[in-house]
């Protein structure tokens, strides 16, 4: 089974992955057996009852009770097995253990925010401890997204104006990829993240220091690191390339025309407003799709980002 998994499925890294895989193989193996049986029967009867002479007459067969009961009961039994097994697996997947560690997940176009119980926030990186149930309580700030980790066999839609949840328990340290599997706009394919699994000790240490930056770094370098960590580079280039949002290159103190025709100067106040209230002023030629970072980054971090943008000519 493990060798078969290597060819057909991603690595099984969660406690529920084995059960989901077993259900998957049951459906596929049973379907192959039924398909083979029906195909062989068709070929056999086509050959056995082929017309041999022009005088051959097809006999009139009204029914066969044993055959009819057999082809009704066997599929019914298979469907009942599949229903019971699927319902049990679904119930387990959607009912988190009482001791699960809870993380708030906020989906935005096009990034994932993860909020922890001590107030720490990470963007596009979900940090969790190994061998500990993790419950994700999820919501969307804009459109429908979908949280999917193939290695854990968990997937759940993330909706605006309501909460959904999913849970998993990882069996080994390492990293796995998170995908958005609900089309959510032009950068949908780039809306991915990482699950980083730590030992319990390393996770607790990360909670204490995870969103801190090296205070010895110059502000511009801290800002560059923040732009990378916050997922800004997915929509804003640093070399003038046009992406979803305006490039940071040459932005500082440049004249910008808004969609309503107003011309403004891209000073510190404009950049700050664009981070906290991105839809207050929309640059001409761009769509109002940037999420707000209100509550995600501090004033000090905004200052560092501004210092970084100043360096991009």
Residues 6+ apart with CB under 8 A from 240: 247, 249, 250
**CB atoms < 10 A from the CB of 169, how many?**
20
pTM of whole model > 0.85? Answer: no
Q: CA 303: distance to chain centroid?
A: 31
| Span 48-70, pLDDT tens digits | 888 777 777 777 777 788 888 98
Cα distances (angstroms) measured from residue 40 to each of 33, 35, 48, 139: 11, 9, 12, 50
Helices 299-310, 219-229: axis angle to 10 degrees equals: 100
Q: What angle do CA 205, 210, 212 make, to 5 degrees?
A: 120
pLDDT at 266 over 60: yes
**pLDDT by residue (tens digit) across 120-139?**
888 888 999 999 999 999 99
The domain 2-94 having CATH identifier 1.20.1240.10: the answer here is no
Instruction: Determine the Cα–Cα distance for residues 37 and 115; give it in Å rounded to an integer.
Output: 53
| Residues 291, 160: Cα–Cα separation, whole Å | 13
Q: What is the CATH number of domain 101-209?
A: 2.60.40.420
Of the pLDDT bands very low, low, confident and very high (cuts 50, 70, 90), residue 173 is very high
Instruction: Tell me, yes or no, if the two domains 2-94 and 219-310 fold the same way.
Output: no
* Distance from C-alpha of 270 to C-alpha of 125, rounded to nearest angstrom: 28
Q: What is the pLDDT of residue 212?
A: 59
Name the nearest CA neighbour of 124 among 187, 196, 204, 185: 196
CB < 8 Å & 24+ apart, contacts of 210-214: 210/120, 210/122, 210/127, 211/120, 211/121, 211/122, 213/304
Fold of 219-310: Cytochrome Bc1 Complex; Chain D, domain 2 (1.10.760)
Domain ranges (residues) in the chain: 2-94, 101-209, 219-310
């Amino acid at each position: 089974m493990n060798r078969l998994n290597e060819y057909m499925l991603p690595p099984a890294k969660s406690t529920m992955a084995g059960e989901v895989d077993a259900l998957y193989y049951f459906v596929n193996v049973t379907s192959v057996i039924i398909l083979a049986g029906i195909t062989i029967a068709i070929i056999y009867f086509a050959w056995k009852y082929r017309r041999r002479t022009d005088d051959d007459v097809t006999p009139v067969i009204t029914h066969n009770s044993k055959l009819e009961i057999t082809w009704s009961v066997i599929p019914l039994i298979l469907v009942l097995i599949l229903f019971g097994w699927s319902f049990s697996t679904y119930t387990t997947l959607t009912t988190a253990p009482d001791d699960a560690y809870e993380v708030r997940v906020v989906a935005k176009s096009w990034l994932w925010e993860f909020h922890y119980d001590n107030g720490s926030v990470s963007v596009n990186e979900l940090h969790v401890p190994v061998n500990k149930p993790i419950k994700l309580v999820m919501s969307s700030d804009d459109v429908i997204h979908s949280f999917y980790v193939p290695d854990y066999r968990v997937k759940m839609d993330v909706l605006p104006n309501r909460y959904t949840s999913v849970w998993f328990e990882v069996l080994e340290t390492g990293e796995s990829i998170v995908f958005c599997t609900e089309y959510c706009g032009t950068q949908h394919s780039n809306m991915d993240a990482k699950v980083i699994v730590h030992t319990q000790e390393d996770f607790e240490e990360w909670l204490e220091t995870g969103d801190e930056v090296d205070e010895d770094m110059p502000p511009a370098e801290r800002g560059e690191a923040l732009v990378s960590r916050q997922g800004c580079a997915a929509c804003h280039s640093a070399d003038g390339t046009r992406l979803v949002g305006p490039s940071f290159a040459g932005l500082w103190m440049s004249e910008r025309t808004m969609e309503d025709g107003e011309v403004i100067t891209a000073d510190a106040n404009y950049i700050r407003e664009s981070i906290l209230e991105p839809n207050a002023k929309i640059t001409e030629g761009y769509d109002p799709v940037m999420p707000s970072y209100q509550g995600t980054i501090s004033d000090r971090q905004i200052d560092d980002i501004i210092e970084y943008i100043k360096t991009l000519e």
